[in-house]
Structure 1
Amino acid sequence: MKICMLTSGHDVYDNRIYYKEILSLQKVYDEIYIVAPGDKDFITEDGVIVKCFPKRKNWRDRFRPMKDMYNIAKKIGAEVYHAHEPDSFQVAVKLKKNFGSKIIYDSHEYYPEAFSEHFPKIKGLMEKVIYTYEKTLAKKADCIITVNDILVDKFKKYHSNVQLLPNYPVLKDKEIVKEYNDIPTFIYVGGLREDRGIYKTLEAIKLVKVPCKYIFIGPFESEIFKLKCEEYIRENLNNKDIVFTGKIPHIEVFEYLKSSHAGFVLLQPNNWRYVNAEPIKLFEYMITKNVVIGSDFPMIRNIIEPSGSGLLVDPYSPEDIASAMERLAENIEETKLMGEKGFIEVNHSYNWAVCEERLLSAYSALK
């Protein structure tokens, strides 16, 4: 079976698309393509054939990339086209109509809610329009894949073949050996944005009385937010051990995670999509034996509480966040034990091996 992944906005080496789905499918299928934004065609070291089209200039630049994607994809002549956004799935629908291909819609996000945020004055109206657009397209899928129970329930209202494949991490071959820093170390990995709790975390650090180290890994979302954080640090946190690394290679991120004690997942409550999310970062902390300091939202609570792998806080309260940090810093042996519990839970329940079996079964049913 010839398989072609289609994406209008994700990177070729997107973690879910490439390192999870494609590498899982390669265990059964030999010929896999991916059509994605990029500068030039190439073949990956795993033998995946990459066909590229120019990246879109901004979020409004949607039609030209879709045309480019279709022209490339039709020449591939795949038996299955697996699309990762409404835009790329519209291309898949056209390929099915013209060539009889099987098509999969892989919905990773709350697309109607996310896209409508570009239109704050008519957000409610745009959300309904995009929801109707997505529903009309998704009905044409041979299979729908999605990442959480909320989205499964949404799609099951109008489609009979919906598969749940959460964004669980791929297990490493060997158990991680921690090399803890001498002082309690707290880490954040990801884009540095206000709605991901970065500024609230800085406000909390000011209140922590125990000596600790703080590491923030990733790029700032904007120069304005970067300046805002730098000003706060300069005026309030000169006596704190804080490191901002910027964006660094994955292997270096892993080295930092090996030495840290706890990680922040402090999504803010003013974004409905965040309140109803299972952040992949949560599982990545758990798999590296880091305790999670997480927003007290239902989906995060359902993972943290049963496993005893973290502390839930009000993500809008610097006092609550600071209290959690002090508890972990003052009880290091308990903190290490919580990290071990998270690692055990990921290995038992929250790992990609569970999803791989479902993915291969879904593909097998398309034959």
Structure 2
Amino acid sequence: MGKVRKVVHLTTVHHPLDPRIFYKECSSLDKAGYDVTLIAPESPDLQLERQNEISILPLKKYKNRFVSMVFSTIEAYKKAKKLNADFYHFHDPELLPVAWLLKKKSNVVVYDIHEDYETGIVTRSYLNRPLRVFISKCYKLIEKLLSGNMELCLAEKYYQEKYPRGKCILNYPLLNPELLKNDELNEDFENKLLYTGNLTKDRGALLHASLPKVDEKVSVFLFGRCSKGLAEEMFQVAGEKQTQLFVEGVDRYVPKQELDKSYVSQRWLAGLALFPPSDHYKKKELTKFFEYMTAGIPVLCSDFPVWKEFINKYQCGLTVNPQNESDIKEAIDFLRRNPMKAKEFGNNGRKAVLEELNWEKEEKKLLDWYSQIGSKNNV
């Protein structure tokens, strides 16, 4: 019987039940026979969803972001080193020094790049812009110096422009039976719009909050972590229409099961991704696209060229200028007046996910890649 290879996933930033980390990568490796441990911030939500043999080692949480970057990183290193793993797979740029220290000739270290951090740092509102630009440039240099002997795992296709040697393991959705059986779509759509995922201004929180004023018939439901301050600002934006705005996730984590239920809880007119123009998001294929598509929900998103090309390719929704209210209202009106076309968009999206855009295909790529890089490093 062959050796059971040990894998340690590390994050000091992401929730321990992050869908990509826990439900996709860790779970796929666990099912394939690897001994999987996840080192991640402590959370009471772990009691909500435990379905496999993955060991989770919690890290102490700190309220201060910068204190956390120091002490959680040190704790993560100590716990990871003790495990003496064959594979270390980390998910945050601040863990680059830890990963560099963990790398030996007898193991594999994988840097899982979830974001375009170089442009992402520039969008951080809690720092002034000159400092953000400076940190972004420093990050790029440090990343290049420290990651030279690491394997790179890319969550987005376009990241390969910056990391040509990286392996694309795309963040496509799990084929969720509950969403896939949501196939009783008919012309009885309600005037309800859905958004799922974390809520921030650069992800269109204020644009989404304004929609009941743009089209007085619609109600907007948003499921995802949202700071209390931002939620209050969103209700101010909605003004007299704030009774048509629903925010589920104020100052709390929204479990995956709750998100999944949201997709099938209503006859959604569309799934939203009206993001303001941003270098950070304009080339990303958002995970929420695929989840809306899985549930047969038409997508209504910003008309960034890459997004527009994606929506046109799969004929799964509409794109609009996010800064043009009449453009947005016209698109909502079109879906409302053309229920059979809306149903067609939903069916097209689901078909694309079933045939092409799903984690089951990415899982095979992940396992084949692990086998390949393990052999290359004699693990």
TM-score by length of 1: 0.89
Q: 1:130 aligns with which of 130, 135, 139?
A: 139
Counterpart Cα distance in 2 of 1:170 and 1:182: 25
CA distance in 1, matches of 2:132, 2:257: 40
Q: Does 1:35 align with 2:39?
A: yes
Tell me the CA shift for residue 108 of structure 1: 0.6
- 2:25 corresponds in structure 1 to 21
- CA 198–85 in structure 1, closer or farther in 2 if over 3 Å, else same: closer
Shift of the alpha carbon at 1:222?
4.4
Change (3 A) 1:92 1:323: same
Corresponding position: 1:4 with 2:8: yes
- Equivalent in the alignment of 2:75: 68
Are residue 176 (structure 1) and residue 181 (structure 2) matched? yes
User: Residue 182 of structure 1: CA displacement?
Assistant: 5.5
User: Cα deviations across residues 47-74 of structure 1 (Å, max 9, x unaligned)?
Assistant: 1111122124333222222211111111
Quick check: 1:342 aligned with 2:349?
Answer: yes
Q: Which runs of 5+ in 1 are unaligned?
A: none
Please state how far the C-alpha of 1:150 moved relative to its aligned partner: 2.6
Structure 2: 5+ residue stretches without partners: none
SS of the residue corresponding to residue 118 of structure 2 reads helix
Map 1:241-320 → 2, pairs under 5 A = 241-246=244-249, 248-258=254-264, 259=266, 260-269=268-277, 271-320=278-327
Identity of aligned residues (%): 27
TM-score, normalising length: structure 2: 0.86
Deviations 1:131-182 (A, max 9, x none): 01111122120x21012233112122xxx4x210121101124632246666
CA shift, 1:314, in A, is 0.7
What is residue 51 of structure 1 aligned with on the other side?
57
* 8 A Cα contact 2:112 2:154, kept in partner: yes
> Is the alpha carbon distance of 1:13 and 1:334 closer, same or farther for their aligned partners in structure 2, counting shifts above 3 Å?
same
Q: Deviations over 1:298-355 (max 9, x none)?
A: 3322321111101010112222111111110111121111111111111122111221
In structure 2, distance between residues paired with 1:226 and 1:38: 25
Q: Report the CA distance shift for 1:335/1:110 in structure 2 as closer, same or farther (over 3 A).
A: same
Stretch moving more, 43-52 or 331-340: 43-52
Q: Secondary structure at the match of 1:140?
A: coil
Counterpart secondary structure, 1:275: coil
| C-alpha distance in 2 between matches for 1:96 and 1:250 | 33
Are 1:233 and 2:242 matched, yes or no? no
Q: Alpha carbons of 1:54 and 1:246: their partners in 2 closer, same or farther (altered >3 Å)?
A: closer
Taking a change above 3 Å as real, the CA distance of residues 276 and 54 of structure 1, as seen in their structure-2 partners, is same
Residue pair 1:171, 1:347 contacting (<8 A) in 2 also: yes
2:161 is matched with: 153
SS in 2 for 1:33: strand
Which stretches of structure 1, 4 residues or more, deviate above 4 A after TM superposition?
A: 39-44, 178-182
2:194–2:221 CA contact under 8 A, matched in 1: yes
Contact 1:287–1:346 (8 Å) recurs in 2: yes
Question: Does structure 2 conserve the Cα–Cα contact (< 8 Å) formed by 1:200 and 1:317?
Answer: no
Does the C-alpha gap of structure 1 residues 54 and 164 become closer, same or farther in structure 2, counting only changes over 3 Å? same
Question: Could you say what the CA RMSD is over the residues aligned between the two structures, in angstroms?
Answer: 2.5
State the SS of the aligned residue for 2:78: helix
**Structure 1 residue 111: Cα displacement:** 1.7
**Alpha carbons of 1:234 and 1:76: their partners in 2 closer, same or farther (altered >3 Å)?**
same
Q: Give the alignment of 1:72-151 within 5 angstroms.
A: 72-97=79-104, 100-116=106-122, 117=124, 118-141=127-150, 143-151=151-159
How many residues align structurally?
356
Q: Pick closer, same or farther for the CA change 1:322–1:38 going to 2, 3 Å.
A: same
- Give me the whole-angstrom Cα distance separating, in 1, the residues matched to 2:27 and 2:225: 28
Q: 1:182 to 1:305 in 2, by over 3 A?
A: closer
CA–CA distance in 2 between the matches of 1:32 and 1:249? 22
C-alpha contact 2:156 2:170 (8 A) present in aligned 1: yes
Letter in 2 for 1:22: C
Change (3 A) 1:84 1:246: closer
Question: Contact 1:186/1:213 (CA < 8 Å) preserved in 2?
Answer: yes
Aligned equivalents of 2:95, 2:119: Cα separation in 1: 18
Change (3 A) 1:186 1:34: same
* Contact 1:204–1:319 (8 Å) recurs in 2: no
